[in-house]
Homo-oligomer: A and B are copies of this chain.
């Protein structure tokens, strides 16, 4: 039963997870203390601590000082979906990637966008329309607005060969973002550039990006008909 030897923190993590899954430690119940577990598994408390901390990070258990460690009652699973650039997505499908700039203009920031980019009325933003193709078939239409206050040298970029997504990723590599997924009907330029009948349901991803709490860009990426975004957890 007790004092097994040569247990790494991963073994302990897995064993604890197993006891939770098999309801030896049911939902809401209190686990033994780190000290007790260390004694049972024959290891240092720090090792148990790391095992439990990982489970806590995954949302399987909650931990409070003095309160001890509990199995969560209603686990909130977190789907992790990797955000890559379109080119990567397409090349991972063994398809040929092609990028095309549709339009590039400085415009007055539209009212609905002012709040998102933290701009005042009358401020100028760089507005881009781009197409991403996979094996010469439309893959994604990208409409983007860039805050030229936060990224001044963006005005020197023509975006003819490299897309704004990749350029920004190399300029502002480590940013924060807020994402919204939805289903939209194909209208206007979407319908045209993705070559689908009007009203076709399309998967759309909107993203606002910040760098050090300053808004950088808002992008609306609309995918070809039938696109599925996949992930595991």
Complex Cα spacing A184 to B176, Å: 30
A232 and B76 form a contact (CB under 8 A): no
Contact with B along A59-79 (1 / 0, CB 8 A): 010000000000000111111
- Please give, as numbers and ranges, the residues of chain B lying within 8 Å of A82 by CB-CB distance: 76-79
- Please give, as numbers and ranges, the residues of chain B lying within 8 Å of A79 by CB-CB distance: 80-83, 177, 179
**Selected A-B contacts with CB under 8 Å, 21 pairs:** A21-B211, A21-B212, A27-B170, A27-B173, A74-B173, A75-B169, A75-B174, A83-B233, A177-B233, A178-B232, A179-B230, A179-B231, A180-B230, A181-B229, A181-B230, A182-B226, A182-B229, A183-B183, A183-B184, A184-B201, A185-B201
B202 and A199 form a contact (CB under 8 A): no
Q: Judge if A227 is at the interface, Cβ distance under 8 Å.
A: yes
A17 and B233 form a contact (CB under 8 A): no
Complex Cα spacing A21 to B88, Å: 23
Q: Which 4 A-B pairs have the closest CB atoms?
A: A201-B201, A183-B183, A183-B201, A183-B203
A177 and B232 form a contact (CB under 8 A): yes
Contact of A232 among B84, B176, B233 (CB under 8 A): B176
Contact of A83 among B21, B60, B78 (CB under 8 A): B78
With contact pairs A20-B174, A201-B201 given, residues A233 and B77 touching in the complex (Cβ less than 8 Å) = no
Q: Judge if A189 is at the interface, Cβ distance under 8 Å.
A: no
Q: Judge if A204 is at the interface, Cβ distance under 8 Å.
A: yes
- Please give, as numbers and ranges, the residues of chain B lying within 8 Å of A85 by CB-CB distance: 74
Q: Judge if A157 is at the interface, Cβ distance under 8 Å.
A: no
A77-B83, A180-B230 known, 10 other contacts, Cβ within 8 Å: A17-B174, A74-B85, A76-B82, A76-B83, A78-B83, A79-B82, A79-B177, A176-B233, A183-B201, A201-B201
Complex Cα spacing A204 to B82, Å: 19
Q: Judge if A228 is at the interface, Cβ distance under 8 Å.
A: yes
